[in-house]
Amino acid sequence: GRAATAAPTEAATEPAGESAMTALQENAANISAELAAAFNGDFDGTAVTMTGPFVDADAQKFDNAVAEFEELTGIDIQYEGSKEFEATISARVDGGNPPDIADFPQPGLAASFVRAGNVVDVSQYISADWLAENYTQSYLDIATIEGPDGPIMAGVWHRAFPKSLVWYPKAAFDSLGYEIPTTWEELTALQDQIVADGGTPWCIGIESGAATGWAATDWTEEMMLRTTSLENYDAWVAGDLDFTDPIVKNAVEQWSTIWFNDQYVYGGRASIVTTSFGDSPTPMFADPDPQCFLHKQGSFITSFFPADAVPGEDYSVFYLPPLDEQFGKPVLFSGDLMVAFADRPEVRAVMSFFSSAASVEQWVKAGGATSPHNDSNLEWYSNETDRSVADILLQAESVRFDASDLMPGQVGAGTFWKGMTDYVAGTVDLDQAMEEIEAGWPSN
């Protein structure tokens, strides 16, 4: 809320040119009538309640990101985070006491409330032209969810976490004359060159306690996006394309050629299921020579890198290349969808605000957020590596949400994790693994 946050020191950090907030004020009438009214002071003294899964430092970053808007409009955005978000949001909605807005890290969870008719359709008041201008179409498609009276736009994307990223030890990589691959053929050639030079291409680990195996689901999703259509990916997420289908098996086989080649993986295939995902990139930073040169993981992984590793010097990042040009340049991501349960004008104004990068600018500058909005500015990112990650997201020709996070929990956080782990461990073959995963689907 307003009381807790100091006035923003916008002017000191803003690069030359108009600030995002100023641009938003000037454009407000083209976004929604309620946003224009808010900047006109019409909702001064109102409050909007919010909840979400982020707490502590991130909750403070969120408060700082919305402080200027609160100042300009007089709307008090009261955010209260919960570590047990999934349980609390369900209890509140079911009990008839929903927040005005909730931040959902999983559209699948939001979809259950949309189906029940609890969610307000943002396309009723936010301009369709603005949404089409400020988001890649894929984001709008993913936010369009079936309600009791047909599909609605269930919310707006606020933060995104791209996953289609390959991290590499920049200084060593450059000194050996390696070049960033932009096609799958070039990636394959790079792997072989690293082996020929006596190195090991990849660091891979999927151990994660009770969640062991999720990192393998990400690779499967990446390969689905690179070897088949978006329609097939969506059908797979929905349970209409079975895991036992040759299309899905082919995607798994694509990454198996890397994972199951002991020359390609630090510690060999046998180490993958016992190496923690957070520890797995560490050999990349070995002194004096990296023990591996490539690590595929989402943007969050940098917090597991050595504390003294300097972005842009000790490590950098590139986009996991496409495999077949007919499927373009897809990016796998997870992210936060802002969803409204109330339809008061001040809630509409805040939701309209969240559709702009002005609502996440200070969070981006503080670190820990990537904006999915086209009106964001790469100069906001504090280092070259964060800028590269943001640019990869903005350059995406299509985006798709992490499939395991969209599937029912019995599959997405159950048999999919376990089946992949069993397959990598070698206790089952691919056919058995896929049957095991498919069996997790609740019978329709």
Judgement on whether residues 313 and 353 belong to the same structural domain of the protein: no
- 104 phi, psi to nearest 5 deg: -100, 120
- 39 phi, psi to nearest 5 deg: -70, -20
pLDDT at 403: 96
DSSP of 67-104, one letter per residue? HHHHHHH--EEEEEE-TTHHHHHHHHHHTT---SEEEE
d(CA 124, CA 149): 14
d(CA 142, CA 230): 12
pLDDT at 17: 62
Judgement on whether residues 101 and 249 belong to the same structural domain of the protein: no
d(CA 219, CA 167): 14
Residue 443 lies in a domain: no
Range(s) of the domain holding residue 418: 165-331+402-438
Q: Can you give the CATH number for the domain in which 70 is found?
A: 3.40.190.10
Judgement on whether residues 141 and 169 belong to the same structural domain of the protein: no
The answer to whether 142 and 111 are in contact (CB under 8 A) is: no
pTM for this model (two decimals): 0.88
pLDDT at 15: 47
Residue 3 lies in a domain: no
Residue 180 lies in a domain: yes
Judgement on whether residues 255 and 395 belong to the same structural domain of the protein: no
Judgement on whether residues 311 and 189 belong to the same structural domain of the protein: yes
Q: Are strands 47-52 and 76-81 parallel, antiparallel or unpaired?
A: parallel
169 token code pair? 């030890």
Judgement on whether residues 307 and 217 belong to the same structural domain of the protein: yes
pLDDT at 224: 99
Domains contained in the chain, number = 2
Judgement on whether residues 410 and 297 belong to the same structural domain of the protein: yes
Q: Please name every residue paired with 295 in a beta bridge, in sequence order, or none if there are none.
A: 167
d(CA 27, CA 125): 15
With both helix axes pointing from N to C terminus, report the angle between 345-354 and 56-73 in degrees, rounded to the nearest 10: 120
Shortest CA distance to 203 belongs to which of 168, 237, 177, 176? 168
Mean pLDDT in consecutive groups of 10 residues from the start of the chain, 444 residues: 38 57 97 99 99 93 98 98 92 97 91 95 98 96 96 98 98 98 98 99 97 97 98 97 99 99 99 98 97 97 93 97 96 97 99 98 93 96 94 94 91 96 98 98 78
d(CA 364, CA 159): 9
Judgement on whether residues 261 and 407 belong to the same structural domain of the protein: yes
Output the CA angle 146-227-243, nearest 5 degrees: 60
Judgement on whether residues 217 and 233 belong to the same structural domain of the protein: yes
Judgement on whether residues 281 and 291 belong to the same structural domain of the protein: yes
